[in-house]
Amino acid sequence: MRGHASLLGAYIERDSMLHAAPLVAKFIPVAALSVLVLALNSAWATLAAAGLVSLAYLVGARLTVRELVQPLTRMWPLILILGAFQWFNAGPLTAFIVVGNIVVCVLAALLVTLTTESQRLLDGLVSLARPLRPLGADPDRLGLTVALMLRSIPYLVGAAEDSRDAARARGLERNVRALILPVFIGAVAYAHQTGEALAARGLMDAENDADAS
């Protein structure tokens, strides 16, 4: 199975200011920038935000231009379709603002995962959820759920691409069944294997006992 962790912004090791910064010091500016650029909804704000994000990638995180552009190469079908739709319905300026804001927000969010090890990221999410424990939140279950999601999504994306390549090799690239059925079977098998692994570690029993109580 091919690796697809880069779709989620896999951690890239660097010796930089952003890599050393605490998670909260990265999360708050990213959230503030995203809210601000969406609220202002102007071309100048989009351009300014794009400049700040690019500066953060290249200087703050010491990432390369290729690592900055790579997420956009995976987003290009969405960018193209959304841009064309907005251009047709509202004109080029609105298309630029809408698409530009989405790109800026995605790149800003990915900057957090690119500069934070997965374990630190999960620990931060668990810490953020702890104050909500009196309201019924379970921080440890949240961390486990996010960890499973981060592990499962690249696997499923890889399964879809492998299925597409196999169908193309057999001349069945337009056969919906040949494209979807292997992914579905693989997803079910993967879910069973994950459940068995959790049960072997006693995690499923603990969760079932908590639900029963």
Q: In this predicted model, what pLDDT tens digit does every residue of 142-157 receive, in sequence order? A: 666 666 665 665 666 6
Residue 193 CB: number of other CB atoms within 10 A? Answer: 10
Q: Which residue has the tokens 């668990």?
A: 126
Residue 86 has pLDDT above 50, yes or no: yes
Decide: helix, strand or coil at residue 189: helix
CA dist 7 and 201 (Å) reads 29
The pLDDT score that the predictor gives to residue 148 is 65
Decide: helix, strand or coil at residue 201: coil
Query: At CA 158, angle to CA 64 and CA 113, rounded to 5?
Result: 40
- Tell me if 126 sits within 8 A of 140, measured CB to CB: yes
The pLDDT score that the predictor gives to residue 27 is 85
* Cα dist from 119 to 1, 23, 143, 144, 195, whole Å: 23, 11, 10, 11, 21
Domain ranges of the chain: 5-116, 136-212
State the number of CA atoms in the 13 A half-sphere of 92 facing the CB. Answer: 0
17: confidence class by pLDDT, cuts 50, 70, 90: very high
Please give the DSSP secondary-structure letter assigned to residue 61.
S
Question: How confident is the model over 88-131, as pLDDT tens digits?
Answer: 999 999 999 999 998 998 888 888 888 888 778 777 777 777 77
52: confidence class by pLDDT, cuts 50, 70, 90: very high
- Tell me if 52 sits within 8 A of 33, measured CB to CB: yes
The pLDDT score that the predictor gives to residue 134 is 81
CA dist 163 and 157 (Å) reads 10
